[in-house]
């Protein structure tokens, strides 16, 4: 499978434009799903403590390496620091647990999952800690970031970055970072194209990974009323027409739109045929008119908003 990469700064490492997401992948099938994704050609795996399946992701990775499908150096593994581990003394603890669960010696990218710090939950009490009762315990981002930097300086992770950060929070990190963030990880789909934030991040030398690439589809199964009421992107008439022009699926068109905007994508599926199909996005190009059509679909419609489900309005 032909794929493309983005160069991360400051280290110069390559991050694949196409990755495989592990959010909401059931524990019972995760190892097999991850193995099959690697078999299909995916080299970036997007993980997180909060997803509750890093042990199983690690099993899939181990199987792929031991069977000769891939080497560790050919993979790009991302994980994320959860909200309950923002104090400087908890960052290395959380990182070590993720590394152990994945069965790896290093990570390619470690992200602060949210600019939200919640009360610490000991691992022996509950892991993953999840959102719990949303009890906040404010920790300045600079404290957390300094601890993240120590992971890089100690050789445990190659790149660090932030997830779900606004432009102003990103400016704050950039003002004091010894090790600059390499990646901004945000919700991006045609209903929320985040064009200004992406442009700003890229202007500052960061690469961008977009999650929830298919918009409402990712949240319907979670019972989100707004997602259930929205027109599915797979059935959106303008995208359907563009897909027909290229003899591609609507999912492939959405992913192609993102990578042409130099945004890395992390679709996920439990269906092997769909996994392979989602990877087949590098043999066609959307025209400027088609790109403009999809760009013009921005509402904006944010689906992953802690202000709605956790009463923590980080985007207010």
The reported pLDDT for the residue numbered 130 is 85
* Confidence (pTM): 0.97
Binding residues for substrate: 113
CA distance 31 to 25: 10
- Residue 240 burial (10 A CB sphere; 0-12, 13-18, 19+): middle
The reported pLDDT for the residue numbered 3 is 73
CA distance 94 to 150: 13
Residues in the chain with pLDDT < 50? none
Q: How many CB atoms lie within 10 A of CB 167?
A: 15
Q: How far is CA 44 from CA 48, 183, 205, 298, in A?
A: 13, 14, 20, 27
* Residues carrying an active site annotation: 51
Q: What is the DSSP string of 210-268?
A: EE-TTTTHHHHTTT-HHHHHSPPGGG-HHHHHHHHHHT--HHHHHHHHHHHTTEEE---
Q: Which two tokens stand for residue 129?
A: 């800690």
Binding residues: 113
The reported pLDDT for the residue numbered 2 is 63
The reported pLDDT for the residue numbered 1 is 60
Residue 58 three-state SS: helix
- Per the CB < 8 A criterion, the answer to whether 236 and 190 are in contact is yes
The reported pLDDT for the residue numbered 132 is 75
The reported pLDDT for the residue numbered 309 is 86
């Amino acid at each position: 499978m032909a794929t493309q990469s983005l160069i991360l700064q400051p280290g110069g490492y390559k991050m694949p434009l196409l990755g495989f997401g592990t959010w909401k992948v059931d524990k019972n099938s995760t190892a097999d799903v991850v193995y099959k994704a690697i078999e299909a050609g995916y080299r970036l795996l997007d993980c997180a403590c909060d997803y509750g399946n890093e042990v199983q992701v690690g099993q899939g990775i181990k199987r792929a390496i031991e069977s000769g499908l891939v080497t560790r150096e050919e993979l790009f593994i991302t994980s994320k620091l959860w909200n309950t581990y923002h104090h400087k003394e908890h960052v290395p603890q959380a990182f070590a647990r993720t590394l152990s669960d994945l069965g790896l010696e290093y990570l390619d990218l470690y992200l602060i999952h949210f600019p939200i710090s919640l009360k610490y939950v000991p691992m022996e009490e509950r892991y993953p800690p999840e959102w719990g009762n949303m009890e906040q315990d404010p920790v300045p981002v600079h404290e957390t970031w300094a601890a993240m930097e120590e992971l890089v300086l100690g050789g445990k992770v190659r790149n660090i970055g932030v997830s779900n950060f606004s432009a102003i929070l990103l400016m704050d990190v950039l003002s004091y970072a010894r090790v600059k963030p390499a990646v901004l990880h945000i919700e991006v789909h045609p209903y929320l194209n985040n064009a200004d934030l992406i442009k700003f991040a890229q202007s500052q030398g960061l690469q961008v990974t977009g999650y929830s690439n298919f918009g409402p589809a990712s949240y319907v199964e979670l019972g989100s009323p707004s997602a259930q009421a929205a027109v599915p992107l797979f059935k959106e008439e303008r995208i359907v027409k563009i897909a027909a022009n290229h003899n591609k699926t609507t999912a492939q068109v959405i992913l192609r739109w993102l990578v042409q905007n130099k945004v890395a994508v992390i679709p996920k599926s439990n269906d092997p045929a769909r996994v392979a199909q989602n990877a087949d996005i590098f043999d066609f190009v959307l025209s400027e008119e088609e790109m403009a059509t999809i760009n013009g679909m921005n509402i904006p419609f944010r689906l992953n908003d802690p202000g709605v489900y956790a009463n923590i309005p980080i985007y207010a």
